[in-house]
Amino acid sequence: MHRGSCLCGGIRYSVNCDLDFIVNCHCQYCRIAHGSEFVPVAVIAADKLEILEGNELLSRFEVSNVAAFRCFCSTCGTRLYNHSPAANMISLVVATLMETADLVPKANVNMESSNRCFIQTNGLPSFDTFPSADEREKL
């Protein structure tokens, strides 16, 4: 069980699965939305995330060309996760978790839209897009 919250504490969540697939996302949407050159996210099945408190504070911005929702706190602006309903997948923003000491990224993803001036691969495998299920198995 993992727990996390936004900066103001209005939204609290729990995750009921292992966070064993963490990637540094370099896509243009993460970069702009977070104001950061890449964003570590834990990829989980959508039904493993439970909003414990503050569901009414959760805002969703739809990135229409990728059919995904960026979910953030309407009070403090913290970006908590991205939801892709078609893939039944959530990319949880690692920085919002309470305990991160044991969490390690496995790869850099979506490098094709990364900001080349700021690339830091940290010696991790890098993928132009999001790795396929086969590619993820091998990481």
- Strand pairing class (22-25; 58-63): unpaired
Mind giving me the DSSP string for 43-88?
EEEGGGEEEEE-GGGEEEEEEGGGTEEEEEETTT--EEEEEETTTT
When the beta carbons of 75 and 121 are compared against Zn ion, the nearer one is: 75
Which residue in the set 2, 4, 6, 83 belongs to the binding site for Zn ion (CB under 5 A)?
6
Which residue in the set 22, 42, 49, 73 belongs to the binding site for Zn ion (CB under 5 A)?
73
Residues 89/23, Cβ–Cβ less than 8 Å: no
Residues 13/4, Cβ–Cβ less than 8 Å: yes
The footprint of Zn ion on residues 8-27 (CB under 5 A) is 8, 10, 25, 27
The footprint of Zn ion on residues 32-71 (CB under 5 A) is none
Which residue in the set 12, 21, 48, 75 belongs to the binding site for Zn ion (CB under 5 A)?
75
The footprint of Zn ion on residues 81-110 (CB under 5 A) is none
Q: Which residues contact 123 (CB under 8 A, 6 or more apart)?
A: none
Nearest distance, CB of residue 85 and Zn ion, angstroms: 16
Site of interaction with Zn ion (CB under 5 A): 6, 8, 10, 25, 27, 30, 73, 75-76
